[in-house]
Amino acid sequence: MVELNPYDWIDRSLETIERANWYRSTQVIASLPGTEVAIDGRKLLNFGSNDYLGLAGDDRVIRAAMAATHQFGTGSTGSRLTSGHKQLHEDLEQAIARLKGTEAALVFSSGYLANLGTIAALASKRDLILSDRSNHSSLKNGALLSGATVIEYKHGDVDDLRQQLQVHRTSYRRCLIITDTVFSMDGDICPLPDILVLSIEYAAMLLLDEAHATGIFGTTGAGVVEHYNCGGKPLVEIGTLSKAIGSLGGYVAGSFSLINFLKNRCASWIYTTGLSPADTAAALTSIEIISTTPQLQQQLWANVADLKQLFIDRLPDLPLIPSASPIICLELPDAQTALTMGNKLKQAGIFAPAIRPPTVPTSRIRLSLMATHQRSQLEQLVDAIETIWG
């Protein structure tokens, strides 16, 4: 029997989402980005941002965005291959390539689009994609879009990856391994050196999502590739301009041929409007700041060490997910507990979002640190968790 209203199912679906405590909604942040944010008329300590270096609210970055807007307008007005290409885009791409130590780079409108389009351009029906089970949605959906056979290997498990390569590699024309380098909802990092060895042994392309690593890992902030000294290899390095870089947009860094190929074959780059002058200039200025101010990175890692030590000293039994990054997650038994914990933290003046399925397999509170957090703010966070945790 056909339903009379073809949209009724949407409300039923929403009811199911609500019943599972998976319902999500937005909340207004009514202040500049920073370690404190205004929510619902209250000032809260911010442990929920990806602005790891505090650059999204930095005066120099804001001024660069304003100057570019005055000079070039608010929109790029066309795709990069038609009327939307500016010298600013080229300058940013060169700055990214310099930061990453690659021949070239290509800027996208978002990191999501960079992953989606690049993966779909590099693999197709006759190919195999091996994907870490905990990869970001943009990698997973890029793999689906490509039409390749997708096999998920166990999270961070090199033995399982080797096993999959041994069994399946020869049945396919090309193979692409895809992984986040920093896993955004756990805070751990991928075993890159071992994955790189396997990719070479099995003649597989290796695509890395450095979204949560760029600007943070490695001595110059190039990412986990630099952290593990794996630079100079034929990699496809993807990332975002929206986290430590504090702007908006994404990028791919790699060889000249890879970048030229994407300019000709990557639909999510070709058929979309070029990044706005403001976002482009902001990212360019942030990268300059990152390259000339290693103290920012040092301050971030000092905060990570301080917070971890505070947890060890004061809350040794707190169920923290093992982390090697500024993302520290408190694992909770279910979605309702995570929501309650998030609300109690908010009442105590702390903003730290509850992350629930289907984003992650188990519910948690995700804390992310910034270089600009003060020691007193870290202590305030631990005080609040101690009071709530009991």
Q: What residue ranges bind ligand PMP (CB under 6 A)?
A: 110-112, 115, 136, 138, 180, 184, 209, 211-212, 240, 242, 250
Q: How many CB atoms lie within 10 A of CB 86?
A: 19
Q: Decide whether 242 or 286 has the Cβ nearer to ligand PMP.
A: 242
Smallest gap, in angstroms, from Cβ of residue 128 to ligand PMP?
22
| Best CA proximity match to 235, nearest among 213, 216, 219, 268 | 213
Q: Decide whether 110 or 372 has the Cβ nearer to ligand PMP.
A: 110
| Best CA proximity match to 56, nearest among 189, 178, 215 | 215
Smallest gap, in angstroms, from Cβ of residue 212 to ligand PMP?
6
Sign of CA dihedral 85, 89, 93, 98: positive
SS3 labels along 135-169: CCHHHHHHHHHHCCEEEEECCCCHHHHHHHHHHHH
Smallest gap, in angstroms, from Cβ of residue 186 to ligand PMP?
11
Cα distances (angstroms) measured from residue 228 to each of 52, 90, 190:
20, 28, 10
Closest residue to ligand PMP in the complex (CB)? 111
Helical (H) or strand (E) element with 306: helix 294-314
Q: Decide whether 211 or 385 has the Cβ nearer to ligand PMP.
A: 211
| CA angle, residues 136, 146, 258, in degrees to nearest 5 | 85
Smallest gap, in angstroms, from Cβ of residue 114 to ligand PMP?
7
Smallest gap, in angstroms, from Cβ of residue 112 to ligand PMP?
4
